[in-house]
Amino acid sequence: MTFWSMIADLLSGLAVSAEIFVFTLLLALPLGFPIALGRMSQNRLVSALFRIYISIVRGTPLMLQIIFVYFAPYIFFEMPLSRYPRLLATVLAFGFNYAAYFAEIYRGGILSIDKGQHEAAKALGMGRAQTFFRIILPQTIKRVIPAVGNEVITLVKDTSLAFTIAVTEMFTIAKQLSSAHTSMTPLIAAGVFYYIFNYIVAFGMERLEKRFSYYN
């Protein structure tokens, strides 16, 4: 194993990790809003259902959720596993998991908005939907960016859990190379790549936070 061949192998795994990261955010970030609104619903049954969903997701290991999502089509519908891509199962498991965490962050942001703003919007003749999208939502986004940023950074590291169903992301490749060549170098190199990946994400989230801090 040459150094550059190792780097090439790790970069191919990093590309898979990046796919998991990007597609998870594309699913989880928007999905968190309807879950948050369902959790806040005045309908007790709807609120209870979303509360149970969030409780189950936050109370069980992500690794277990990945396994469940991958094998569920076979267990419930007898669908051959060969027709169910592992990467798709990983993204779905990550997406529904992180959506629950984002939902609680969004809910906290929505509840932090002063009730007087709702009353002021009502006095101006705004409906509930108009009030939410024009007044509440922009302020909520601004307030939740730091907490969302923490979850996004955690997601970078959690992509390594895809090895649970044999998705060959970067950590899996690093372990394989380290075992095959009895060397810690691939693991150290993978750690460096994770750090760089996280640094870029953290930098982007910091810039986004500064962009929304227009009242500070």
Angle between the N-to-C axes of helices 86-111 and 137-158, in degrees from 0 to 180, rounded to the nearest 10: 140
Look at the block and give the residue holding tokens 């955010």. Answer: 25
Query: Mean of the per-residue pLDDT values for the chain?
Result: 89
Alpha carbons 17 and 90: distance in angstroms, whole number? 11
Query: What tokens were used for 170?
Result: 């970067």
148 vs 74 pLDDT, higher one: 148
Q: Between 44-59 and 3-39, two packed helices, what is the crossing angle to 10 degrees?
A: 160
- For the chain, which domains are there? 3-212 (1.10.3720.10)
Q: Which of 216, 183, 99 is nearest to 148 (CA)?
A: 99
- Confidence band of 152 (pLDDT split at 50, 70, 90): very high
CA pair distance 214, 142, nearest whole angstrom = 9
Q: In this model, does residue 191 exceed pLDDT 80?
A: yes
In this structure, are residues 131 and 122 in contact, taking their beta carbons and an 8 Å threshold?
A: yes
Does the pLDDT value for residue 211 go beyond 60? yes
Task: Please give the pLDDT value at position 214.
Answer: 56
Distance of alpha carbon 41 from alpha carbon 37, whole angstroms: 6
pLDDT at 147: 92
Q: In this structure, what DSSP letter does residue 83 have?
A: G
How far apart are alpha carbons 93 and 68 in whole angstroms?
8
C-alpha 88/C-alpha 196 separation (Å) is: 25
Tell me: pLDDT of 188 over 80.
Answer: yes
